Amino acid sequence: MLMENMIVDRAHLVAAHTAVKVHVAIICDGNGRWATSRGLPRSEGHRAGAEAARRIIRCAPHLGVHTLTLFALSSANWQRPPAEVDAILGILEEYLLAETSHCLEGGVRLSIIGRRDRLPAALRAAIGDAESLTAKGMALHLRLAIDYSARQTIYQAASKFYKVTNLSSEAFGNLLAEVQRGGSTEVDLLIRTGGEQRLSDFLLWECAFAEFVFLPKRWPDFMPVDLRNAVLEFERRERTRGGLPRECTV
């Protein structure tokens, strides 16, 4: 079944290869429910979620994605039981240690956005190594949001400038990119899996004009074909940014 899926996906990928270059951000939700519906501990859902991330990262450059931001751990997730948070942090560390060489091979530049000071030292070290080793990757900019809160990031950037009265929006955007280290680029397409339809403090500034696609499917079940379909859906939408649609005459 898995092989079948992969073959179908590959055929679709070729068909869907387009000239668009987009920043896709994904709220990877539903890991816990995926696991509990199978009688597994929630941590197994997070492990399966890491596998889904691997698949999607590999196919993203072939679907016209230049930047992929994945919401791996929200600052709000510290409210969960410590055992679950520890499991997620452990999986992230394993993931970075195992994936850095694949990123290098695939030309993937990996950055982490979010706070680092509350992360375990071993994870911080893995982040530092992964970022410096992959810094020259040109095929895809992969940004993992870990201990990330958009409000906190915006607040931090704003508090650096709170006495300046002539700050341009562009200068503020640049400052935001600096504060969150992994840069800040406008999101074109925001996907949320797992059935909820909310932004949950993810990329509030960058999603100002993003197109949203919400999917009931849980993140571990997310396949390359789902990304392809979302990108095709994005291409069908007309983005007016407050202007008028093309065919509209006054």
Residue 10: C-alpha distances to residues 126, 217, 224 (Å): 31, 20, 8
Q: Is 174 in the active site?
A: no
Pairing of strands 140-148, 108-113: parallel
* Closer residue to Mg ion (CB): 29 or 206: 29
Question: Least distance (Å) from Mg ion to the CB of residue 196?
Answer: 7
Q: What DSSP string describes 136-178?
A: T--SEEEEEEEEE-HHHHHHHHHHHSTT-S---HHHHHHHHHH
**Alpha carbon distance 237, 246 (integer Å):** 12
* Closer residue to ligand IPE (CB): 137 or 194: 194
Binding string, 39-78, against ligand IPE, x = CB under 6 A? ----------x-----------------------x---x-
Q: Does 42 bind Mg ion (CB under 5 A)?
A: no
Q: Does 147 bind ligand IPE (CB under 6 A)?
A: no
Residue whose entry in the numeric block shows the structure tokens 């562009």: 170
Q: Does 220 bind ligand IPE (CB under 6 A)?
A: no
Question: Least distance (Å) from ligand IPE to the CB of residue 46?
Answer: 6
Which of 9, 29, 147, 188 is flagged as catalytic?
A: 29
CA atoms 122, 220, 9, 212: torsion sign: negative
Give the pair of three-digit tokens for residue 198.
């909310």
Q: Does 29 bind Mg ion (CB under 5 A)?
A: yes
Q: Does 194 bind ligand IPE (CB under 6 A)?
A: yes
* Closer residue to Mg ion (CB): 76 or 208: 76
CB-neighbour burial class of residue 135 (10 A; exposed 0-12, middle 13-18, buried 19+): exposed
Question: Least distance (Å) from Mg ion to the CB of residue 29?
Answer: 4
- How many residues contact ligand IPE, by CB under 6 A? 11
Residues of this chain that interact with ligand IPE (CB under 6 A) are 28-33, 49, 73, 77, 88, 194
Catalytic residue numbers read: 29, 77
Residues of this chain that interact with Mg ion (CB under 5 A) are 29
